[in-house]
Chains A and B, each alone.
Chain A
Amino acid sequence: MDSKQLENSNPKVYLKSKDRETTRADEDDRLVDEIDAREVFDLIRGIRDPEHPFTLEELNVVSEEHCEVDVKDNVCRVWFTPTIDHCSMATLIGLSIQVKLIRSLPEQFKIDVFIAPGSHATEEAVNKQLADKERVAAALENQHLLEVVNQCLLESF
């Protein structure tokens, strides 16, 4: 088995959830359609894992239950679960989720991305790094890193 490159060489793959059903209210342009958890989930479910040909949804890294939107305070929170508890890609995955949401949601939204409690060995350190907007901004000025992130986001819709 090729474990030289892959940290988790045989990840468990989960079933995709069904697409959101369109309701009559969605087609009514007169109604204000507020951003909800499902919409945030739809934005990030198609992000690719940095080392596997699967999406974050298929690897169960993200799920609708772990997305939260507070429209009143303009806050969006996402908790993600790395596939293994010592995954060195955790920061990169979190960064990809953050970039996707920064690009997609209205700019006033505060975006908080965390590791699901208890799912990673260096949870606190990764969370602190992801919450530091100055370091996130500096990271995204790094051409190489930005390419990797864009690669992960390529086929997400």
Chain B
Amino acid sequence: RWHPSGHTLASCGADKTIRLWAKEGNSWRTKYILSDGHQRTIRSIAWSPTGQYLASASFDATTSVWHRKDDSEEWECVISLEGHENEVKSVCWSKSGKYLSTCSRDKTVWIWECVESEESEEFECASVLTDHSQDVKRVVWHPIDDVLASCGYDNTIKLYKDDGDDWICCATLTSHESTVWSIAFDSSGQRLASTSSDKTIKIWQSFNGITNWKCVSTLSGFHSRAVYDISWSHTSDYILTAGGDDTIIVFKEDDTKSSGDLSDNSLQRFSVVLRHEKAHQMDVNSVDWNPAIDGIFATSGDDCSVKIWKFKAHDL
């Protein structure tokens, strides 16, 4: 996952460590290894919006928060969040930096509130959401508002908001026919893309607020196996997907003006602008557009490698 500045990349894996990578001259090197925070596989990592903190979710049922020591390259684990009954699958910070969310195989989504205090970092559990009926795979915050989205093994996507009193599930998106592995908002937060074991990618559009979503596009026939991750660039609007077929694909929305009849946004078309088979030797598990530097993205796979790509859009 990219640091908000776009200059550092963090990766995690079954070896229970997190590696921080940065460019040195013309090559990328491991700058620091964060270890001893977890007993089992680290499934997911997320940077805080300011880039000062890094959170990691592990199969050991805990979530760790790491902080960079002042004036040094070193990172230390400042807190370990416990509460989930089993494997934590995903972690994400809200755009405001106020909330941290985690989800687990125990079917729950937790929202932690970051309480600022002098010298120490504290997190209070703000809500435990039990709306999913199965393993929850991913949590993602809205790019602008404090709205959370989650998806999982029960084939659904759910959205949550704070109704003043507590967090509530305000929308359930059903259409996928198998596990939903990942979700990504576009830069406006008006649209959401999701990927699934049913080999499709779906684009959802919100109408009149965040409670009313409609599937406006289903991209099928592009991946031949489960689609594990998606990244929607907030600088260029390109959508990047990766799957168990070792392939990565970049999609771009068709210019609706030239095709005329799509003014009501009820149907949207996307075209493939790049398709790279054998992007990795094995399954591709994650993709992430660089948030600051246009056209750069990172991928990682079961083949234990991380790759950094430069994407040039040709004028179509």
Q: A138 and B59 in contact (CB under 8 A), knowing A107-B282, A131-B197? A: yes
B105-A138 in contact (CB<8A): yes
A135-B281 in contact (CB<8A): no
Point out the residues of chain A lying under 8 angstroms from B41, CB to CB. 137-138, 141
State A110–B302 Cα separation when bound (angstroms). Answer: 11
State A110–B153 Cα separation when bound (angstroms). Answer: 21
Neighbour of A135 across the interface among B14, B135, B178, B283, CB < 8 A:
B135
Q: Main SS of chain B's interface residues?
A: loop
Asked if A133 is an interface residue, CB under 8 A from chain B, the answer is yes
Point out the residues of chain B lying under 8 angstroms from A138, CB to CB. 41, 59, 86-87, 105
List which A80-110 residues lie within 8 A (CB) of chain B: 107-108, 110
Asked if A134 is an interface residue, CB under 8 A from chain B, the answer is yes
B282-A108 in contact (CB<8A): yes
State A26–B282 Cα separation when bound (angstroms). Answer: 29
Neighbour of A141 across the interface among B59, B281, B283, CB < 8 A:
B59
A128-B281 in contact (CB<8A): no
Q: Main SS of chain A's interface residues?
A: helix
State A121–B34 Cα separation when bound (angstroms). Answer: 46
State A25–B213 Cα separation when bound (angstroms). Answer: 61
A132-B179 in contact (CB<8A): yes
A137-B179 in contact (CB<8A): no
Interface bin, chain A: 10 to 19
B135-A137 in contact (CB<8A): no
State A133–B153 Cα separation when bound (angstroms). Answer: 12
A135-B105 in contact (CB<8A): yes
Asked if B291 is an interface residue, CB under 8 A from chain A, the answer is no
Neighbour of A128 across the interface among B59, B105, B179, CB < 8 A:
B179
Asked if B176 is an interface residue, CB under 8 A from chain A, the answer is no
Point out the residues of chain A lying under 8 angstroms from B197, CB to CB. 128, 131-132
CB distance from A93 to the nearest CB of B (A): 21
Point out the residues of chain B lying under 8 angstroms from A131, CB to CB. 197, 226
State A135–B153 Cα separation when bound (angstroms). Answer: 10
Q: A134 and B282 in contact (CB under 8 A), knowing A141-B40, A141-B59? A: no
State A138–B137 Cα separation when bound (angstroms). Answer: 13
Asked if B37 is an interface residue, CB under 8 A from chain A, the answer is no
List which A108-156 residues lie within 8 A (CB) of chain B: 108, 110, 128, 131-135, 137-138, 141
State A128–B137 Cα separation when bound (angstroms). Answer: 14
Task: Select from chain A the residue with minimum beta-carbon distance to B134.
Answer: A128
Point out the residues of chain A lying under 8 angstroms from B179, CB to CB. 128, 132
Asked if B89 is an interface residue, CB under 8 A from chain A, the answer is yes
Point out the residues of chain B lying under 8 angstroms from A134, CB to CB. 43, 89, 137
CB distance from A131 to the nearest CB of B (A): 7
Using CB atoms and an 8 Å cutoff, list the residues of chain B in contact with chain A: 14, 40-41, 43, 59, 86-87, 89, 105, 135, 137, 153, 178-179, 197, 225-226, 244, 281-283, 303
Sample of 8 more A-B contacts, CB < 8 Å, known A128-B178, A131-B226, A137-B14 = A110-B283, A128-B197, A132-B179, A133-B283, A134-B137, A135-B135, A137-B41, A141-B59
Using CB atoms and an 8 Å cutoff, list the residues of chain A in contact with chain B: 107-108, 110, 128, 131-135, 137-138, 141
The 3 closest A-B pairs by CB, nearest first: A138-B87, A138-B59, A141-B40
